[in-house]
Chains A and B, each alone.
Chain A
Amino acid sequence: MNAGDAREPAARAAGPRALPYGPAAPSGPADPPFPGGAARVYRPANAADTLTAHDRSARGDAARWEPLGMAVTPVLDLRGIDKSFGSVKVLHDIAFSAYPGEVTALVGDNGAGKTTLVKCIGGIHSPDAGEYRFEGRPVRLGSPRDAAALGIEVVHQDLALCENLDIVQNLFLGREQRRGIALDESGMEELARRTLSGLSVRTMGSVRQKISTLSGGQRQTVAIARAVLWDSKLVVLDEPAAALGVAQTQQVLEIVRRLADKGLAVVLISHNMNDVFAVSDRIAALYLGRMVAQVRTADVTHRQVVELITSGVSGDLGLRR
């Protein structure tokens, strides 16, 4: 593992157009340029069930979908992951894959083990057993820094921000740009402002505000911005929309979709089935620490997923009895 291979922020690596969303879009959701095509409007609640399948074939995306684990190499491929805390076994023999250009939704009830799995992916916990493959190569993560060096970004459920630092300082924490031995404050401030404008963050007075002065949703946006600022390959978001208002949730879903359309693998954890069906390409369901199904979103219905979450089985999907 080459942990020293710290990545440059996107804007450095690829010049001006490397910002995730292009230049600051002055308007709200209608405007930002989607690399994948026309702006998508996400269906409001309870329409999702019936719409998604058509929606997707209409997009012409369906052709990209291969049978699980076949032609396309998954960016992330986990096999047989076990994790225990003391005598409590939280994850049992988990298999999980995330594919480039796709949003994989990870669903499951409270305490199912989603966050624990994410922490294993992000190098915060190390699994007790199992195989961790990244872009086909087996890797072993010793720390979050290793994960970041590979190109894995995680937005944690309990926001990992330092309240005593300001927005810019948090965005670049651990990966500060420098000029000589000193910090390149102005460079970081500029890049931070562009990224946040690209995320259409409103109501923030200043990028030099301390995190402690921000609202929960604003903090969440900063945490997301932190993850998309870098030129990563896999972005994992653990309930990113939990604290967000309607418009901001919409924005986060758009970001999620845009990241995937750029070719990144995205893992989204959410308890909101409408959100899941609106953006995801695949759904992985956890039930009491077991992976009960990993299916294409187009192949399942709202009800089936809810059954998988609550009982671990749905028809011929899920746990064998």
Chain B
Amino acid sequence: MSTDLPEGKETAVKLADSDFAADRREHDVRSALLDYWGRIRAGELGALPAILGLAALIVLFFALRPNTFLSNQNIANLCTQALPIVILAMGLVFVLLLGEIDLSAGVASGVCAAVMAKLIADSGQPWYVAVISALAVGVVIGTAIGWLVAVVRIPSFVVSLAFFLGIQGITLRLIGDGGTVPVRDDFIVALANKNMPVWLGWTLAAVCAVGYAATQLLRWRRQQARNLHSRPVELVVAQSVVVAGALLLGTYLLSQDRAASPLIFLGGVPWGVPLVGVLLIVCTFVLARTPYGRHIYAVGGNAEAARRAGINVTRIRISVFIIASGFAAVSGIVAASRLNSVTPDAGGGNTLLYAVGAAVIGGTSLFGGRGKARDAVLGGLVIAIIDNGLGLLGTKAYLSFLITGIVLLFAASIDALARRRRSNTGR
């Protein structure tokens, strides 16, 4: 601001100077970190609980089972164990963003898997026909739930509870009491049981790391060029390095030889991992960078405001249930691949609780309006580690149920407390 202003205008200028001061202020690492700390204290926890939880659990189980927990074999195992949970949770994030719930997602994954397995085993259909049919079943279930919730306006809790019961009946009818449908199709089995060639794993990891860094830096440059709100470049670089490090470390661990016999080589990233990677990228893009994603957050934050802004709230509501059930179908297929079979209780038991728990642990709020696709991945890893670790410890079934229940409650409490904290501090 120039100094040769007439008397009296100076105060006005000074005041106007505070317009968007934070946008104009040169952000350095220190101020950005202070901002971050301020946000955490105000209850915007983001990915922090999940990352702390991951670290703590890894240390804990490593201390308890130093030989088995971090073995090459178990790391790969953990990874495939997490796949169905992550996929199911990623679909549920969309529903949770609206503050709704889909209790039937778990058993929906079961019935979709059953349809797929039956089509291959009994009707001899090729895998793609079976997969498309399974997805179609998921979409139909999602449409039905979404319609009942959005148009008839029954609470989603009740609708999906009814579907939870009904769908179990359908799966039982399809497979028969005590029956099992084997899954032998090469493609389907490969999803969770076969690995990418080691070189391909490394290439993909490198491409993703470079791609991530490039998008972050390009965005930063665009913001700088147009004088918009941006983070300090050091943080952008640091974040890119951390993501690249995580990708490469994961690839390294999964590329180790984990064959029981020294004669053969068994290693590489399981094929299900890039599948989750693609879903993660697509979902992140849709939620963060498209009008549709923006509208989901808006409806979750204030449905009436969204309606007044001209957003078709009904359509958004129906669509998230379709997405959740569609992802459930994919999750069911991957689970069937991992187990090489489908049973009548597929997707039952604690499947859904695991997925909801994963989303919530990852940072998605049960109250709607807050959450990201990556929450499903972080939270899914936490849940898979708990499940896997308890298995290694040989915990009794009753104890596993208890512990998982407590973990879910714990995550939901963090969510509720953070929310209270936010409203106390006006965030």
Q: Report the contact-size class of chain A (Cβ under 8 Å from the partner).
A: 35 or more
- The contact sample of 6 A-B pairs, CB cut-off 8 A, is A24-B19, A31-B12, A144-B308, A186-B226, A202-B16, A205-B22
Q: Choose among B16, B289, B298 the residue that contacts A26 (Cβ–Cβ < 8 A).
A: B16
Q: Is the CB of B226 within 8 A of A176?
A: no
Complex CA distance for A210 and B174, rounded to whole angstroms: 49
Interface of A is mostly: loop
Q: Choose among B9, B22, B304, B427 the residue that contacts A27 (Cβ–Cβ < 8 A).
A: B9
Nearest neighbor of B12 in chain A, beta-carbon distance: A27
Complex CA distance for A304 and B18, rounded to whole angstroms: 44
Interface of B is mostly: helix
Q: Which residues of A contact B291 (CB under 8 A)?
A: 176, 178, 183
Q: Which residues of A contact B228 (CB under 8 A)?
A: 186, 189-190
A contact residues vs B (CB 8 Å cutoff): 24-28, 30-31, 122, 124, 143-145, 148, 154, 156, 159-165, 169, 173-176, 178, 181-183, 185-186, 189-190, 193, 196-197, 200-210, 212-213
Q: Is the CB of B302 within 8 A of A163?
A: yes
Complex CA distance for A130 and B379, rounded to whole angstroms: 55
B contact residues vs A (CB 8 Å cutoff): 1, 9, 12-13, 15-16, 18-23, 222-223, 226, 228-229, 285, 289-291, 294-295, 297-298, 300-302, 304-312, 369-370, 422-423, 426-427
Q: Is the CB of A122 within 8 A of B308?
A: yes
Q: Is the CB of A173 within 8 A of B309?
A: yes
Q: Is the CB of A160 within 8 A of B290?
A: no
Q: What total of A-B pairs shows CB separation below 8 Å? A: 133
Q: Which residues of A contact B305 (CB under 8 A)?
A: 159-162, 173
Nearest neighbor of B368 in chain A, beta-carbon distance: A164
| Additional A-B contacts beyond A148-B310, A164-B369, A209-B22 (13; CB < 8 A) | A28-B12, A144-B308, A161-B305, A162-B301, A162-B306, A163-B301, A163-B369, A165-B297, A173-B294, A175-B309, A182-B290, A205-B21, A212-B423
Q: Is the CB of A28 within 8 A of B16?
A: yes
Q: Which residues of B contact A204 (CB under 8 A)?
A: 19-20
Complex CA distance for A124 and B370, rounded to whole angstroms: 27
Complex CA distance for A200 and B20, rounded to whole angstroms: 11
Q: Is the CB of B309 within 8 A of A164?
A: no
Q: How far is the CB of A250 from chain B (nearest CB, A)?
A: 13
Complex CA distance for A31 and B9, rounded to whole angstroms: 10
Q: Is the CB of B297 within 8 A of A175?
A: no
Q: How far is the CB of B24 from chain A (nearest CB, A)?
A: 9
Q: Which residues of A contact B304 (CB under 8 A)?
A: 160
